[in-house]
């Protein structure tokens, strides 16, 4: 769920959420996940395979189609970090950080502008308990759980000059910009963009979101 750099920042003790603070506060300093590269043939082969397979799976469809085959091949679930290219392709199960990193690589290789996206979603304490159990059973950090809220990662796709679509690789679907409340709804999102001269604000559905900062979504 997070990159190697983020590991040291994660607080394994889940604090009680403060009432007024934005739900994204806990993940304010989290960078988006990236796959590491050993610098050798092992990782290069894995990366080449993902890119070539992604293009093959497109089957002539539009380049902006979501790479759903990745979700079909890799179940969503706990995975340990840091993770290298040669490791991620061998796993049966990967978390949202790995899913979003793979989708980012796929979109980028297709010649599209992909942006890492961090999300905070609202679920329930029951759901969080279930996930905590699964993650702990694998010995993987649960820092992404905070009460009934969760930290999640996805991949933004820039369309037009400043329009955003968000691909949730873990779900194999596009995030609905119109669902602002309830189970699974989006509470906050942060889009990373390091492109110089790129837009500072993006349109997502009927909303405008600032890049590189958490946006608390209206409810």
Partner 1 sequence: MKIIVSGLYSGGNPQPGVGIVRSLRLGFPSATLVGVEYSTRVSGIHWGELDELWIQRPWDELDLDAYGDKVRGILAGGAFWISGSDLEAMWLATLYPEGHPNLLAPPAAALGRIAKPAVEAHRGLPVEVPVFVSTDLPDWDLHAFCRQHNWRVWLKGPYYDAARTPSWDSFVAVRNALTKVWSTDRLFLQAHVSGYEESVMLAAYQGELLGCVSMRKRDITPEGKTWAGDVSGVDPAFEAPLREMVRAINWTGGGEVEMIRDAAGKLWLLEMNPRFPAWVHGATITGHNLPALLVQAAAGVAARTAEPQGSEFTRVVLEVPVRPDYPLPALPEPFAGAIGHSMKHPSGLTMLAQRLHAAVPNGIVIEDGASDDNGAPTVPQTVLADVAAHDFAAMATPQFLFLESTAEDLFKRASDRARRLSDNQVQVASGYSIKTNPDERLIRLALEHGFMAEAISLLEVQTALQVGFRPDQVILNGPGKWWPEGLMLRERMHAVFCDSVADLDRCVAAIGAGKMSSRHVGVRLRTPNVVSRFGIPLDSPGTFGTLIESIGRLPQDTAFGVHFHMASSNIGVAQWWHLFESMLKWCSSIERLGGRRIEILDMGGGWFPDDWHSAENSRFDQAVERVKEVLPGVRQIVSEPGKAMAQPSMAVAMRILEIQEHEDQSVEAVVDGSIAELPMFAFQPHRILRQCGTSGELQPLGRGKVHLMGRLCMEHDIVAANVALPDGTQAGDLLIFCDAGGYDRSMSYVFGRG
Question: Which of 11, 21, 29, 65: binder of partner 1 (CB under 8 A)?
Answer: 65
Question: Which of 4, 18, 64, 125: binder of partner 1 (CB under 8 A)?
Answer: 64
Question: Which of 9, 14, 58, 127: binder of partner 1 (CB under 8 A)?
Answer: 58
Three-class SS state of 84: strand
| 125 forms part of the interface with partner 1 (CB under 8 A) | no
| 207 forms part of the interface with partner 1 (CB under 8 A) | no
d(CA 194, CA 22): 24
Ramachandran category for residue 111: left, alpha or beta (phi over 0 → left; psi -120 to 50 → alpha): left
Report the residue number, 41 or 200, with the smaller CB distance to partner 1.
41
| 89 forms part of the interface with partner 1 (CB under 8 A) | yes
Binding mask 128-167 for partner 1 (x = CB under 8 A): -------------------------------x--------
Question: Which of 13, 16, 19, 56: binder of partner 1 (CB under 8 A)?
Answer: 56
Instruction: Please report how close the Cβ of residue 47 comes to partner 1 at its closest, in angstroms.
Output: 9
d(CA 89, CA 191): 25
Instruction: Please report how close the Cβ of residue 207 comes to partner 1 at its closest, in angstroms.
Output: 14
| 108 forms part of the interface with partner 1 (CB under 8 A) | no
| 112 forms part of the interface with partner 1 (CB under 8 A) | no
d(CA 64, CA 55): 11
CB 208: neighbour CB atoms within 10 A? 12
For residue 211, give the DSSP letter: B
Three-class SS state of 190: strand
Instruction: Please report how close the Cβ of residue 62 comes to partner 1 at its closest, in angstroms.
Output: 4
Q: What are phi and psi of 112, to 5 degrees?
A: -100, 160
d(CA 31, CA 44): 24
């Amino acid at each position: 769920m997070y990159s190697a750099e983020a590991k040291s920042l994660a607080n394994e003790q889940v604090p009680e959420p403060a009432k007024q603070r934005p739900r994204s506060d806990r993940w304010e300093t989290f960078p988006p996940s990236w796959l590491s590269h050993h610098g050798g043939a092992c990782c290069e082969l894995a990366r080449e395979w993902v890119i070539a397979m992604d293009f093959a799976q497109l089957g002539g469809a539009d380049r902006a189609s979501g790479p759903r085959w990745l979700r079909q091949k890799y179940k969503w679930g706990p995975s340990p970090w840091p993770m290298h290219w040669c490791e991620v392709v061998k796993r049966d199960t990967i978390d949202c950080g790995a899913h979003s990193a793979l989708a980012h690589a796929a979109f980028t290789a297709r010649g599209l502008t992909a942006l890492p996206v961090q999300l905070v979603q609202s679920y329930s304490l029951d759901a969080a308990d279930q996930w905590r159990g699964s993650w702990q059973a694998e010995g993987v950090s649960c820092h992404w759980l905070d009460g009934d809220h969760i930290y999640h990662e996805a991949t933004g796709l820039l369309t037009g000059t400043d329009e955003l679509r968000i691909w949730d690789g873990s779900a194999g679907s596009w995030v609905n910009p119109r669902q602002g409340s309830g189970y699974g709804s989006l509470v906050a999102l942060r889009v990373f963009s390091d492109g110089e001269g790129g837009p500072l604000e993006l349109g997502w559905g009927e909303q405008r979101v600032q890049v590189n900062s958490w946006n608390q979504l209206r409810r």
